[in-house]
Structure 1
Amino acid sequence: MATKKGKEKATPKSTARRGTKRVLVAEPSSTAVKPSTKRIKRIIKVDEKEKAFPAKDTARFTNRYCEQMFPILAERNYNNEYLLLLPTRIAEFVEPQIERRQWDFLQRQPRQVNLSWVVEFYSNFHLPTLQSVYVRQKQVPIIEEAIQRALDLPPAPEGLDAFQEASLKRQTYQFDWDAVLRVIALPGSRWIYGYYRSRPKRISASTLTLAARVWAQIMSHYVFSSTHESSFTADMAVLLWCILIDQPLNLPRHIRNAMGHVQIAGNLPFPALVSDLVSAAGVSYRAGDTKAVLPRDDQYVPNGKYIRPPAATTSQPTEPVEDIPSSTPQAPTTNQLLHQILERLDQQERKAKLRERRNKR
């Protein structure tokens, strides 16, 4: 049979048996991972049964499941601990809380982070109940006491903290959601509900008070890892409520729980904390490790439109009024001028702090 000029017969494709799936998983050939930049995510599931089989690279991975999770997690983004740069009007209500609770770790300066450690750490974190994680033939403790030492926190309160007590009440439908709304949100705000109307799902960032917005941004990078800025989960809302009414909190316990659910979905959180934990366990660097100084200069909180004062609402006329064209532009209102001045002051303070930090390097 003759073929047309310039064309060849297509090679037949190998047919897979019906009922089987082909899973392509790249083998981790080195310790190098991608830097902390925006990357495209892809969802690939690894069979849980792979945990029963040994890994090919036993020096780096606990089992075959962890080994196959490595290239998947290496493509995810990092949720860095952002630099805390507080304008004067915000420092007045944030710094007293930090001092009273002894949360000085929130004010740490940027430092070098080993991103290869971070990916290997979360690849081997295959069970939420683990007490230690295997990283390069070392066991890295991840108990609450280890996180407490790494963050230089005071001893946590015994038993359940305020957030956990609220969680128990939420499960039995005895929790007062309106009490949370009165503390963290502006008057007239409402919850965002999902399919189930029995309990709220989220709350819009635009409805939060200034104090709640600032603390939500801080906690999104240090406790409940999240990159959402337009709204926050109900868990975050309860955490903000506990902070603003001065209830005791066990942050190492909540950070530990957040670490244990990374393999399911989401970015890789707490890279600086993970690097500190791995370093304290005596894990050594390798030549191919990917390192970075985090956070970057453009990664700071509070930031964005969510910390601006809410716009003043004016009463609308009951009857429609015809628009009268004006040849001259309207002058900004006093409220708008105040917002512009506050924004410029905040920008100047942040730039001054960034210059001061660069000079210390």
Structure 2
Amino acid sequence: MSNPQCKGKGKATTGKKKRGKSSMSILDIMHDDSWREKHFTPQEKADQLLPTNDPVKFANRYCELKYPVFATSRNLYLERTLKIPEELQQYTSEQIKQRGWFFLERNLTEVNASWVREFYCNYFKTSLDAVHLRGKQILVTEEAIEDILQLQPKSDQPDGYQRAEEDMHFMRFDWDAVKQRIALDPTVPWVMGKNTAMPKGIKLMYLNDEARLWHHILSNFVMPSTHETELSAAMITLLWCVMEGKDLYLPRFIRYYKVRVHVRGTIPFPYLITQLGRRADVPWELADAKPTAADYKKIIPHSRKFQDLGYRPPFLTASGEVATSSAAPSSSTATPVPPTAPPPASEPVYHLVHRLF
């Protein structure tokens, strides 16, 4: 129904927009414990109030019963060492320096996989400010994350991402300007879902060099994602904020992606959790598991997923060649037939709102 290639931008509307469950934002979820609680059965809730057989290792009976899932069925998503080639440093060096994101340049030396699995098993509620780990309490507040990563203090004002989400809520966010900034070509399509008020995402192959590089970085250190072909609207917004120099408070995102792990997904931030455990003097046992030496050597950006500078998908290159050849003078003396105009296409809702006011 929608054509994501249409031009224009959404403007504010005074009408009320119905927001279903699918339209909940990251920040909505982070401040709403109900999305987690609804996954608990009555028995699981009861088990959370019962003592465990191993009080050093587990917070309660529920966590003890849940542990086999984390021990055998959930994979670690290990942070990778950042080694940016010289030709790409133009996109990151000043950003990292000005934002104080020096944690991106850390040498990732150790991960205690056993700690990490136990930590996430015991992180069973979004409201927890500290997580039980081998008799110690690991602080998981935004302030604790800010401190361990040595980030700048949180501002009293909304950051760039929060302001963008407010604009989305009132349908005044300019998605076309975002595409202009992050994409190889402004005509590439969005991935649209049921909610036509905003894009669902964009194909990874449509990103320009700078956006692809920051996607590699952010999907490893801030907003973990193993999706190889498509970016979510949340990641698109975060990319745009970084590339436009918007202020960002990263601990908010990191905390969110930690709290959701108990429900689903791979296990992120193992190096960060290990550092938090070290700070809390969690005992390291000889039997504790570690990632393989090969895992420690993985780096970003890596060539398998990061194409050469200036890479363009074949269909974009082909369309450019066609446009060039059609613009050249023809040797034929026949009168050219004027092209038939394509039929008008429908527009996404965020374009249509602009026409109403």
TM-score range, shorter chain: 0.7 to 0.9
Alignment-mate amino acid for residue 265 of structure 2? G
- Supply the distance in 2 between the matched residues of 1:243 and 1:151 (Cα, whole angstroms): 18
Distance 1:112 1:118, change over 3 A: same
- Aligned 1:82-97 pairs, distance under 5 A: 82-97=80-95
Aligned to 1:140, the other structure's residue is in SS state strand
Distance 1:104 1:303, change over 3 A: farther
- Per-residue CA deviation, residues 234-269 of structure 1 (Å, 9 max, x unaligned), is 100000000001011001111011101011211110
TM-score (ref. length: structure 1): 0.71
- Supply the distance in 1 between the matched residues of 2:194 and 2:149 (Cα, whole angstroms): 38
- Quick one: which of 59, 63, 66 aligns to 2:60? 63
1:303 alignment partner in structure 2: 303
Range with bigger deviation, 123-132 or 151-160: 151-160
- Per-residue CA deviation, residues 337-361 of structure 1 (Å, 9 max, x unaligned), is xxxxxxxxxxxxxxxxxxxxxxxxx
Aligned to 2:202, the other structure's residue is in SS state strand
Gaps of 5+ in 2: 1-38, 327-357
Aligned to 2:137, the other structure's residue is in SS state strand
Q: Decide whether the 8 Å contact of 1:157 with 1:249 is kept in 2.
A: no
- Supply the distance in 2 between the matched residues of 1:300 and 1:285 (Cα, whole angstroms): 29
Residues 1:275 and 2:282 aligned together = no
Q: Decide whether the 8 Å contact of 2:109 with 2:296 is kept in 1.
A: no
2:352 alignment partner in structure 1: none
1:351 alignment partner in structure 2: none
Alignment-mate amino acid for residue 310 of structure 1? Y
Q: Decide whether the 8 Å contact of 1:148 with 1:155 is kept in 2.
A: yes
- Supply the distance in 2 between the matched residues of 1:141 and 1:181 (Cα, whole angstroms): 38
TM-align CA RMSD: 1.9
Distance 1:172 1:264, change over 3 A: farther
- Supply the distance in 2 between the matched residues of 1:264 and 1:164 (Cα, whole angstroms): 25
**In the TM superposition, what is the alpha-carbon distance from 1:144 to its structure 2 partner?**
1.5
Distance 1:315 1:233, change over 3 A: same
- Per-residue CA deviation, residues 112-155 of structure 1 (Å, 9 max, x unaligned), is 11111100110010111211101111111111121112112222
Alignment-mate amino acid for residue 102 of structure 1? G
Residues 1:315 and 2:321 aligned together = yes
- Supply the distance in 2 between the matched residues of 1:142 and 1:78 (Cα, whole angstroms): 19
Distance 1:64 1:290, change over 3 A: same
Aligned to 1:262, the other structure's residue is in SS state helix
- Supply the distance in 1 between the matched residues of 2:294 and 2:176 (Cα, whole angstroms): 39
Q: Decide whether the 8 Å contact of 1:201 with 1:233 is kept in 2.
A: yes
Range with bigger deviation, 194-203 or 117-126: 194-203
Count of residues paired in the alignment: 274
User: Percent identity over the alignment?
Assistant: 35
- Supply the distance in 1 between the matched residues of 2:245 and 2:76 (Cα, whole angstroms): 30
Residues 1:128 and 2:129 aligned together = no
1:265 alignment partner in structure 2: 264
1:207 alignment partner in structure 2: 206
- Quick one: which of 116, 129, 141 aligns to 2:114? 116
Q: Decide whether the 8 Å contact of 1:82 with 1:301 is kept in 2.
A: no
- Supply the distance in 2 between the matched residues of 1:64 and 1:240 (Cα, whole angstroms): 41
Alignment-mate amino acid for residue 123 of structure 1? C
Which structure has the higher relative contact order (CA within 8 Å, separation 6+)?
2
**In the TM superposition, what is the alpha-carbon distance from 1:110 to its structure 2 partner?**
2.6
Aligned to 1:69, the other structure's residue is in SS state helix
Distance 1:100 1:203, change over 3 A: same
**In the TM superposition, what is the alpha-carbon distance from 1:196 to its structure 2 partner?**
2.3
- Aligned 1:323-334 pairs, distance under 5 A: none
Alignment-mate amino acid for residue 276 of structure 2? L
- Supply the distance in 2 between the matched residues of 1:178 and 1:53 (Cα, whole angstroms): 53
Of Structure 1 and Structure 2, which has the larger fraction of its residues in helix? Answer: 2
**In the TM superposition, what is the alpha-carbon distance from 1:302 to its structure 2 partner?**
4.4
- Supply the distance in 2 between the matched residues of 1:306 and 1:168 (Cα, whole angstroms): 32
Residues 1:168 and 2:157 aligned together = no
Alignment-mate amino acid for residue 229 of structure 1? E
TM-score (ref. length: structure 2): 0.72
Distance 1:62 1:305, change over 3 A: closer
1:252 alignment partner in structure 2: 251
Misfit runs of 4+, over 4 Å: none
- Quick one: which of 154, 157, 173 aligns to 1:156? 154
Question: Rg bigger for which structure?
Answer: 1
**In the TM superposition, what is the alpha-carbon distance from 1:46 to its structure 2 partner?**
6.7
- Quick one: which of 47, 69, 72 aligns to 2:69? 72
Aligned to 1:121, the other structure's residue is in SS state helix
Distance 1:62 1:159, change over 3 A: farther
Range with bigger deviation, 302-311 or 117-126: 302-311
Range with bigger deviation, 302-311 or 136-145: 302-311
- Aligned 1:214-229 pairs, distance under 5 A: 214-229=213-228
Q: Decide whether the 8 Å contact of 2:138 with 2:280 is kept in 1.
A: yes
Distance 1:235 1:315, change over 3 A: same
1:234 alignment partner in structure 2: 233
Distance 1:119 1:174, change over 3 A: same
Alignment-mate amino acid for residue 258 of structure 1? Y
- Per-residue CA deviation, residues 165-210 of structure 1 (Å, 9 max, x unaligned), is 2123323333221121111112212210122222211111111111
- Supply the distance in 2 between the matched residues of 1:66 and 1:167 (Cα, whole angstroms): 35
